[in-house]
Structures are given as C-alpha cells and as structure tokens.
C-alpha cells in the first residue's frame, strides 16, 4: 500500500524502524515485544485497574485508491496522512492531561534527534505551556533499557541541535537527566510510578 504525507511526499519507513520491527529482541519472560506493544499492554493494565486512561492516538488517513479483488474484500492501494502526526499517546492520569511520544533506537550509545520533527516539539511545548504532563519514553534495543525523558530536557537537547550542536542525545545524558524504567510483568513498562514520584500526586 502506498501512503503519502499531506504534501504528497511518499511515506517511507525508516531503516531503523524496520530493523527494530524485523529483529524484535526477546525480552522479559522470553517475549519479543516492540515498545509500542509493551506500552499498549501497560496502558491496558492501567485502564483495567482504573489507574489511568491512556490511549495510542489513531493516525487519520485519507484513502485515495481502493481495489476490490473480491466482493467481500477491499485492498487499500493508496492513502495520505491527513495531518502531520503529533505524539503517540495521550490521556488522563489523576486529573492531569498526559501526552507522550515513544521511540526505539538500535544505536547503543545515543538517541538520534532526527527521530523527532519540529511540529512534534512545538506540540509538546504547547502541552507543557498548558500545564500538561509531557515526556518521551525511549528504549535502547541493544541493552533493552527503557527511560522516561521529561519534555523540558528534550527541549534543551533540541535547541542545542538547532544552535549547531550535536544531533543526538548521548545515552549518558539520558541516564543523567532521564528516569530508568525497570521492565516488569504487570505492568510491563510502569511509567506511572515515575510520574507519581515526579509530580507528587500522593
């Protein structure tokens, strides 16, 4: 299926994403799970126990061409993203709006900032400006380590890049200002525990 951006440019899955999805690393309980799958499981755990209501945002798509090889089946041949995407997840926790992006990298020593776009950074700045909770969850697939990085720190690294500095965040920098999330069973990625500590809900 051909999928295109609003400006007509074709959507091409990045090699990094293909590598992550095609070589899922076996993790806790010997399960090969992507970051998205782990987060979806965690969010379901939170919803079932009335801890938080967080959902993955659907990406609005405009279908352009559909083939009907059978009367009972339709195949989408061409489609366009209606809008530029913002972040992956949003919802409510303890009366506060929560909005975050989830990213994986196969780079063992740094996280490339090219994984973000300016409109995503601008969106996160608007969320923070309205008092919402905004962050990024990053997984280093080689080490199978997951971190929560608050948006306020991401903004600093993004501005450093715009000012001509390095185009990535080192793993050491993420370890220093971010928050390691140990992988568990239920929930798989317990990022709410980090939020409890950061925002003193209790």
Helix (H, G, I), strand (E, B) or coil at 57: coil
Among 12, 34, 9, residue whose Cα is nearest residue 137 = 34
- Tell me the Cα Rg of the chain: 18
Block mean pLDDT (10 aa), the chain, length 202: 54 46 39 81 97 84 67 64 73 96 95 94 96 97 95 98 97 97 94 91 51
Residue 69 has what pLDDT? 72
Residue 32 has what pLDDT? 46
Residue 176 has what pLDDT? 97
Class of domain 33-58+84-199: alpha beta
Residue 1 has what pLDDT? 54
pLDDT in tens, 17-33: 444 444 444 333 334 46
> Domain boundaries in the chain?
33-58+84-199
pLDDT in tens, 74-94: 776 665 555 556 898 999 999
Q: How many helices (H) and strands (E) does the chain have?
A: 6, 11
CA-to-CA distance for 28 and 146, rounded, in angstroms? 13
Residue 156 has what pLDDT? 98
Question: Is the whole-model pTM more than 0.95?
Answer: no
């Amino acid at each position: 299926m051909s999928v295109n951006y609003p400006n007509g440019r074709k959507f091409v899955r990045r090699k990094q994403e293909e590598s992550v999805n095609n070589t899922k690393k076996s993790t806790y309980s010997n399960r090969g799970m992507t970051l998205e799958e782990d987060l979806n499981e965690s969010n379901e755990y939170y919803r079932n126990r009335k801890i938080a209501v967080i959902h993955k945002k659907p990406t609005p798509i405009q279908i352009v061409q559909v083939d009907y090889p059978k009367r009972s089946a339709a195949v989408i041949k061409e489609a366009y993203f209606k809008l530029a995407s913002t972040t992956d997840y949003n919802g409510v926790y303890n009366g506060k709006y929560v909005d975050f992006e989830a990213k994986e990298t196969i780079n063992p020593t740094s996280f490339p900032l090219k994984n973000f776009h300016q409109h995503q950074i601008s969106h996160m700045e608007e969320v923070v400006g309205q008092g919402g909770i905004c962050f990024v969850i990053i997984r280093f697939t080689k080490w199978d380590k997951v971190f929560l990085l608050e948006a306020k720190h991401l903004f600093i690294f993004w501005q450093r890049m715009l000012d001509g500095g390095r185009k990535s965040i080192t793993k050491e920098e993420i370890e220093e200002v971010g928050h390691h999330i140990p992988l568990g069973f239920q929930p798989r990625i317990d990022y709410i525990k980090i939020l409890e500590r950061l925002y003193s809900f209790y």
